Amino acid sequence: MLDFSKFIKYSKAGPRYTSYPTALEFSDSFSYDEYVQKLKAQDSSRPISLYFHLPFCKNACYFCGCNVVFTSKEDKMSRYLEYLKQELKILSNIVDTNREVIQMHFGGGTPTFFSAAQLDVIIKEIKSYFKNFSSEAEVSCEIDPRHINEDQMRVLAQNGFNRVSFGIQDFNEKVQEAVHRIQPYSITKEAMDLARAYNMHSVNVDLIYGLPYQSLETFKETLSLALSLNPDRFAVFNYAHVPWMKKTMRKIDETTLPLPDEKLRIMQETINFLTSNGYKMIGMDHFAKPEDELFKAIEKGELHRNFQGYTTKGGADLIGIGLTSIGEGEAHYAQNTKEMREYEEAIEQGRLPFERGVVLSDDDKIRKYVIMELMSNFKLDIKRFERLFGVDFKHYFEDAINELKPFEADGLLSMSDEAIECTPTGTLLIRNISMPFDAYMKKHIQNAKTFSKTV
Ligand SMILES: C[S@@+](CC[C@H](N)C(=O)[O-])C[C@H]1O[C@@H](n2cnc3c(N)ncnc32)[C@H](O)[C@@H]1O
Ligand code: SF4
């Protein structure tokens, strides 16, 4: 067993790099007109990936870091759907909707707080604009197992959804009580059976480590129970505790959170347990069966990282629709407003609810490539990088290479003229290993209240 105490020094605030530059660099210096121009100028031969944010939940899970609107009012939800339809209409006058759609994702909140009939309406509306869905498109929905019925699953399946993702987090009752999310195993099992009955091609489950009262022992039990559901994929997230940003997290007693060395032990055990049960580790926090597309993508070096985590679908322009959603083009990120009132006002004025974003400089593009390679594949092929960008790696990243030397000394990675490659233990600290390549990190390093802890 490794001595994890020597890695505690790496427990510091750092990004999860679902984007580079990170959302902290998004600003209104990327103007609305520029954004519209970027969308209009997109190459029609590039496929599209659509993300819809359906933000509603009825009760707060205290750990939740997602952009959620808590409500139990039906009219608020049906009102949102009407605005979403309008947003689609505005978008269809800007983006070439004949482009091929290779991916669509419903995220939240909890998309299945909408009824089967509402989900049917919104999906049909989307397809009335975007008619060119690839026969191979990945169409997925996030589901809270406590809020799914057969009618909803049928509507998803009939409309071409082929993947679902269930939130579990943890099966331990004490942990569930502490995070205000009571979810007995039987409920999750029923949801899983429903997904199988409707032939969902791939079923993912989300777990979180780092929650109150978790220990290596309790998490082992959660892992065994989750494995008994036989999911195609696991996402095992490191709890991102950012109470200065998310009020509900303040209800969590910080003295009950597992310490960094325990968290590293939990992650190490998760890797051992899932890999010895036939799953392959994908990137920082995903595991998939060898026959899953995610794993095949790794073998072909085609794994990508975006706001939804890891994906096989690179080379597509991501368009975000709905409150707070984020889009990503070849040289930009764009985010919709977080305020419902502003969202509605923009749409009433016939504008996209775009609020802020960033246009990537050449330096951003270079660093994005390096960081995403490390985050996805745990290694960087330096020769390939140099061919792609025509820059001398050693010269360009002299500072970063020096910053990585202590990691090399700690056995977390190896560096040569050809490649940077993480060791198995190094993969646990991949966020730290990526940070030296982040040009904006120095600006944020003094401010503890930016990112969650890496460990
Ligand atoms: C939108 S939710 C999933 C769908 C549904 N609302 C549910 O909870 O079952 C997305 C996932 O993000 C993860 N998540 C939420 N807050 C997090 C946090 N603070 N740190 C790490 N993961 C988090 C959870 O695993 C959750 O399942
Ligand atoms: S974890 Fe899921 S169900 Fe819980 S508050 Fe967040 S989005 Fe809603």
> Phi and psi for 296 in degrees, rounded to 5?
-60, -35
Indicate the burial class of 186 (C-beta count within 10 angstroms; 0-12, 13-18, 19 or more). exposed
Residue of the nearest CA to atom 2 in ligand 2? 109
- The answer to whether 334 and 357 are in contact (CB under 8 A) is yes
- The answer to whether 327 and 51 are in contact (CB under 8 A) is yes
Q: What is the pLDDT of residue 442?
A: 78
What does the alpha-carbon distance between residue 286 and residue 18 come to, in Å, rounded to a whole number?
Answer: 13
What does the alpha-carbon distance between residue 259 and residue 239 come to, in Å, rounded to a whole number?
Answer: 12
Can you spell out the DSSP letters for 220-275? HHHHHHHHHT--SEEEEEEP---TTT-GGGGGS-GGGSPPHHHHHHHHHHHHHHHH
Tell me which residue of 3, 19, 89, 38 sits closest to 308, measured CA to CA.
Answer: 19
Q: Are strands 280-282 and 286-288 parallel, antiparallel or unpaired?
A: antiparallel
Which spans in 130-231 are helix H?
Answer: 150-158, 173-178, 185-197, 216-228
> Residue 108: beta bridge partners?
54
Give CA separation, 319 vs 131, 297, 327, 336, 381, in Å.
16, 22, 4, 10, 30
Ligand 2 lining (C-beta closer than 6 Å): 57, 60-61, 64, 66, 68, 108-110, 144, 167
Minimum-distance ligand to the CA of 257?
Answer: 1
Tell how far the Cα of 175 is from the centroid of ligand 1, in angstroms. 15
pLDDT tens per residue, the chain (455 residues)? 556 667 777 777 789 999 999 999 999 999 999 999 999 999 999 999 999 999 999 999 999 999 999 998 889 999 999 999 999 999 999 999 999 999 999 999 999 999 999 999 999 999 999 999 999 999 999 999 999 999 999 999 999 999 999 999 999 999 999 999 999 999 999 999 999 999 999 999 999 999 999 999 999 999 999 999 999 999 999 999 999 999 999 999 999 999 988 998 999 999 999 999 999 988 888 999 988 888 888 777 778 888 877 888 778 999 999 999 999 999 999 999 999 999 999 999 999 999 999 999 999 999 999 999 999 889 999 999 999 999 999 999 999 999 999 999 999 999 999 999 999 889 888 999 999 999 998 777 666 667 777 77
Tell me which residue of 272, 381, 34, 349 sits closest to 372, measured CA to CA.
Answer: 381
Give CA separation, 430 vs 7, 157, 283, 371, 417, in Å.
13, 36, 9, 10, 20
Residue among 53, 144, 248, 308 to mutate when testing ligand 2 (max atoms within 8 A of CB): 144
Report the Cα 38 to chain-centroid distance in Å: 24
What does the alpha-carbon distance between residue 450 and residue 244 come to, in Å, rounded to a whole number?
Answer: 9
Tell me which residue of 231, 220, 157, 127 sits closest to 188, measured CA to CA.
Answer: 231
Minimum-distance ligand to the CA of 56?
Answer: 2
- The answer to whether 353 and 321 are in contact (CB under 8 A) is no
What does the alpha-carbon distance between residue 264 and residue 320 come to, in Å, rounded to a whole number?
Answer: 34
Is 218 a pocket residue for ligand 1 (Cβ < 6 Å)?
no
- Whole-model pTM: value is 0.94
Q: What is the pLDDT of residue 159?
A: 97
Q: What is the pLDDT of residue 12?
A: 78
Peptide bond into 14 cis (omega under 30): no
> Residue 238: beta bridge partners?
209
- The answer to whether 116 and 154 are in contact (CB under 8 A) is yes
